[in-house]
Chains A and B, each alone.
Chain A
């Protein structure tokens, strides 16, 4: 009972004599407690951070202590997607597709500076400046790469977030169909179908562009 202190908070006074005998909690809390302690991460590594993710899974740091032992390569069986490493434009459609294939409730943890916001390779022509422009991210863990302890800290932060969720507000019991994130398309450069109007207007305004190019070169073409 000592270990489940965060579970044992029903929100009203419990008689002293009952306290040692039974655990009273809310359905919400026990539900979230169960969920947060059986997060199955997706076995999905992109770059350097993936190696630190493997080290976190390995014997020294061992995130199975938090109920995360089963790394599933299939998105259908995974609860949390650890985007570990640099997201490139060529890889982006696959990542979004994997995210769409995950079943609710699903969480995304952006691991490393690259997944959070582009990282050291941000200026490169093939790098996405942060995965959160395409899919929603729950927890950001920066660092290049975050050490296994840093990642564990991030995963515990995610658990905290899950424990604060309320059943009423969660999306996965609603009758509305789940809206999928549109998959980006690889054209002359990667493009988000949601932004196609913006792209059309930006690429079809010749006069403004030509003056802009001469003053702030390379910023847009």
Chain B
């Protein structure tokens, strides 16, 4: 019959509309938290600046360099300037200058300068995947809007550095696994 398909379609839309209220009335306290998830019925919206979608641990944006704070307040980066991340980077957006001993001129396992061009970075996570020292990791901070570009979009080393505690906070499971591995490696020597 003509018009039946139309009515059916409208019925579905109305069902969707009213199921929000049904879920709110019968869903109890958690009904709002369920919005935008697999259990959602009806309204699906997450009110972004006030609440945000739960970010999974593996989520990746721009890489950052892990450091620990030394006793004198100096940042001790884990990076040894081995250059694997800059070699494996698909877009070649990582620049590393290896530090040299000021007296002998021989290279030291530390980076003097470290740049990432965020305008080229494709957030693929390859650098973090292949880093043998767990020194470069993928960040969770997606709020990176800016008014200018220019040189500010080539992040230098101080801007890239983030403390180890931050890493442990955003990726607790990965951090636990890596720490366990480190402990296992350190064991035989003692």
Q: Is the CB of B91 within 8 A of A120?
A: yes
Does A144 reach chain B (CB closer than 8 Å)?
yes
Q: Which of A127-158 contact B (CB under 8 A)?
A: 130, 132, 137-144, 146-147, 149-150, 152-154, 156-158
CB-CB under 8 A from B148, the residues of chain A are 140
Q: Which of B23-31, B76-84, B119-127, B169-177 contacts A (4 or more CB under 8 A)?
A: B119-127
Known: A60-B36, A60-B44, A62-B45. A119 touches B119 (CB 8 A): yes
CB-CB under 8 A from B62, the residues of chain A are 142-143
From the candidates B90, B92, B118, name the one contacting A142 in the complex (CB within 8 A). Answer: B118
Contact string, B54-65, partner A, CB cutoff 8 A, digits 1/0?
000000011000
Q: Is the CB of B149 within 8 A of A60?
A: no
Does A175 reach chain B (CB closer than 8 Å)?
no
Does A65 reach chain B (CB closer than 8 Å)?
yes
Interface size on B, residues (CB 8 A): 32
CB-CB under 8 A from A158, the residues of chain B are 145
Does A183 reach chain B (CB closer than 8 Å)?
no
Q: Is the CB of A137 within 8 A of B149?
A: yes
Main secondary structure of the interface of B (DSSP, over half): loop
Q: Is the CB of B45 within 8 A of A120?
A: no
CB-CB under 8 A from B48, the residues of chain A are 61, 65, 149, 152
Question: Quick one: closest A residue to B141, CB to CB?
Answer: A150
Does A53 reach chain B (CB closer than 8 Å)?
no
Known: A60-B44, A122-B91, A130-B149. A141 touches B120 (CB 8 A): no
Size category of the A interface is: 20 to 34
Does B46 reach chain A (CB closer than 8 Å)?
yes
Q: Is the CB of A154 within 8 A of B45?
A: no
Does A118 reach chain B (CB closer than 8 Å)?
yes
Q: Which 6 A-B pairs give the minimum distances between C-beta atoms?
A: A117-B119, A154-B145, A150-B142, A120-B122, A157-B145, A144-B122
Q: Can you list 29 A-B pairs, Cβ within 8 angstroms, ordered by A?
A: A61-B45, A65-B48, A113-B118, A116-B119, A116-B149, A116-B153, A117-B117, A117-B119, A119-B122, A120-B121, A120-B122, A122-B91, A122-B119, A123-B92, A141-B144, A142-B62, A142-B121, A142-B153, A143-B62, A143-B142, A143-B144, A149-B142, A150-B145, A152-B48, A152-B49, A153-B142, A157-B145, A157-B147, A161-B147
